[in-house]
């Protein structure tokens, strides 16, 4: 098996021609002959280089509205013939099939056409047949052929040509084949998911962009992120984002997106330890920090408002890992950027997935993302006493936080401020006791506060505990056959309770 192979003939048929001219020029200088179709052939000839038409080789024109151009034995024979196999070489000589050593091709923009809202007829026409076949054939025969399957591979090819001319090593060809199969498998996954139309008949998820992280959740674990972080954030300062940073950033984005009011949140281990909605970023920050200034140390900060100098000066007084905002004043950035490793992110508008999945056991769990945000219209008062408008506002506020907290979860809030939460407990009573203890430790008065739970109360124990602390209103999903016990307690003690009908468990 020969390591080095020389490129004598290149088949080029692409949609994206930006950056192709340098490659064509270099190949021509190396004596490579070109074979092409339609617009690409015209492009090559416009550069002043000769190019043979595919139809002259196959003796067939492009037919069926362009659906069939390269699908011919003289094309695929030239790609698939094994140079080291005498029988193959005898056959291509017999049938006058030229060897094709380099294939540069890309695919019709199927995903972009779907995203544009085009008609099904237009979408179907963007299912590439000839291109995908050329990619698979050339990649399969990487022992003898180089395949460039997308514009992203133009630079690696050009670098290779500049380094050692129109020759390639087996290692280079195999790497190109791997990249080509990544293109073809992603393309086929997109087509399948379009036809599957959300039925979930099979799991197909493909993401091209890979970022290797320093390590995973712990230093002994490898970690990767697949996706385009640059589409979501501009990182303007700080160290490389870690696996655990990403988990917290994801939780922070999910949480802040619940709020229309100007809000500031502090997260630690994916849970909010401080959150407040206020008229200014500075006020929101101060009241969010008051919720748990101990846990805030080393946390992830996020706001939906622009961080100004005054807010930055206060924020800069504590140690934190990440801060996220839609924008920053220039002088605020100068202050926040004083710490070398502090990660500063500007959040951009980006479309987020509607599905969530995680690997476990020997398979994958998939579910719709929990995008439901309860409003006043979703609340059902189940007690004799109705909550006041202020209590309703606080209950909806607390419900957004409990939705984004690890179960079992209880959230205590008042005046659009998180007083405390109990999260990740095996008992809802323990979660409540944890929240009460934390609130008291930071000097909060629970009289007039509201309580939110991510699940129903089959027993009145939590309601009794909350009542004794001065909590006046409760929001919970409802649905337990024993809910009446909690309702009865509230009625007897003058508490208000509303149900939403929707649980927000989060594990």
**Structural Rg of the chain based on CA atoms:** 31
Q: How many CB atoms lie within 10 A of CB 237?
A: 17
Q: What angle do CA 8, 161, 22 make, to 5 degrees?
A: 95
Rounded to the nearest angstrom, the gap between the alpha carbon of residue 250 and the centroid of all alpha carbons in its chain is 9
Number of separate helices (H) and strands (E) present in the chain: 19, 23
Between the CA atoms of 106, 110, 116 and 122, what dihedral angle is there, to the nearest 10 degrees? Answer: 110
The reply to whether 164 belongs to the active site is: no
Query: What is d(CA 109, CA 44) in angstroms, rounded to the nearest whole number?
Result: 22
Catalytic residue among 26, 126, 269, 339: 269
DSSP string, 453-482: ESS--SSTHHHHHHHHTT--EEEE----TT
Which one of the listed residues 17, 52, 140, 211 is annotated catalytic? 140
- The kind and range of the H/E element at 364 are strand 363-368
Residue 280 burial by CB count (10 A; 0-12/13-18/19+): exposed, middle or buried? Answer: middle
Bridge partners of residue 225, in order along the sequence = 211
**493 catalytic residue (yes or no):** no
Helix (H) or strand (E) holding 13: strand 9-13
| Cα–Cα distance for residue pair 229/211, rounded to 1 Å | 9
Q: Give the whole-angstrom CA distance, residue 372 versus residue 258.
A: 9
Pure H helices in 141-259: 154-164, 170-196, 229-232, 243-256
The CA angle 345-347-352, to the nearest 5 degrees, is 130
Q: What is the DSSP string of 179-200?
A: HHHHHHHHHHHHHHHHHHTT--
Distance CA(190)–CA(186), nearest Å, equals: 6
3-class DSSP assignment, residue 125: helix
Residues annotated as catalytic (active site), given as ranges: 140, 269
């Amino acid at each position: 098996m020969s390591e080095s192979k020389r490129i004598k003939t290149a088949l080029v048929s692409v949609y994206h021609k930006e950056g192709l001219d340098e490659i064509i020029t270099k190949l021509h200088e190396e004596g490579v002959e070109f074979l092409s179709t339609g617009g690409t052939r015209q492009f090559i000839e416009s550069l002043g280089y000769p190019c043979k038409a595919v139809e002259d080789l196959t003796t067939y024109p492009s037919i069926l509205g362009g659906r069939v151009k390269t699908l011919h034995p003289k094309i695929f024979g030239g790609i698939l013939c094994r140079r080291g196999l005498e029988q193959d070489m005898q056959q291509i000589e017999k049938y006058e099939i030229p060897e094709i050593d380099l294939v540069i091709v890309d695919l019709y923009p199927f995903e972009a056409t779907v995203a544009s809202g085009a008609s099904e007829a237009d979408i179907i026409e963007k299912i590439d047949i000839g291109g995908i076949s050329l990619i698979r054939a050339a990649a399969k025969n990487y022992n003898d052929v180089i395949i460039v399957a997308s514009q992203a591979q133009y630079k690696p090819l050009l670098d290779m040509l500049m380094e050692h001319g129109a020759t390639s090593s087996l290692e280079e060809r195999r790497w190109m084949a791997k990249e080509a199969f990544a293109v073809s498998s992603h393309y086929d996954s997109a087509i399948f998911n379009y036809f599957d139309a959300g039925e979930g008949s099979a799991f197909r998820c493909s993401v091209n962009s890979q970022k290797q992280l320093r390590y995973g959740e712990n230093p002994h674990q490898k970690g990767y992120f697949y996706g385009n972080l640059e589409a979501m954030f501009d990182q303007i300062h700080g160290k490389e984002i870690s696996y655990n940073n990403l988990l917290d950033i994801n939780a922070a984005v999910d949480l802040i997106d619940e709020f229309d009011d100007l809000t500031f949140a502090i997260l630690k281990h994916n849970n909010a330890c401080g959150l407040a909605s206020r008229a200014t970023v500075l006020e929101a920050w101060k009241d969010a920090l008051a919720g748990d200034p101990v846990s805030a140390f080393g946390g992830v900060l996020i706001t939906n408002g622009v961080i100004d100098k005054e807010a930055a000066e206060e924020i800069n007084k504590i140690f934190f890992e990440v801060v996220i905002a839609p924008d920053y004043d220039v002088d605020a950035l100068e202050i926040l950027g004083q710490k070398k490793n502090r990660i500063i992110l500007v959040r951009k508008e980006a479309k987020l997935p509607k599905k969530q999945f995680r690997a476990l056991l020997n398979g994958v769990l998939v579910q719709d993302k929990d995008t439901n945000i309860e409003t006043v219209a979703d609340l059902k008062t189940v007690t004799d006493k109705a909550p006041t408008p202020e209590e309703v506002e606080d209950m909806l506020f607390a419900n957004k936080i409990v939705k984004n907290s690890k179960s079992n979860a209880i959230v205590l809030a008042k005046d659009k401020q998180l007083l405390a939460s109990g999260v990740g407990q095996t008992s809802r009573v323990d979660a409540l006791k944890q929240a009460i203890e934390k609130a008291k430790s930071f000097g909060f008065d629970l009289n007039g506060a509201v309580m939110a739970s991510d699940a129903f109360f089959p027993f009145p124990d939590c309601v009794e505990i909350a009542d004794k602390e001065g909590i006046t209103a409760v929001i919970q999903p409802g649905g337990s056959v024993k809910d009446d016990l909690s309702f009865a307690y509230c009625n007897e003690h003058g508490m208000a309770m509303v149900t939403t009908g929707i649980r927000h468990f989060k594990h």
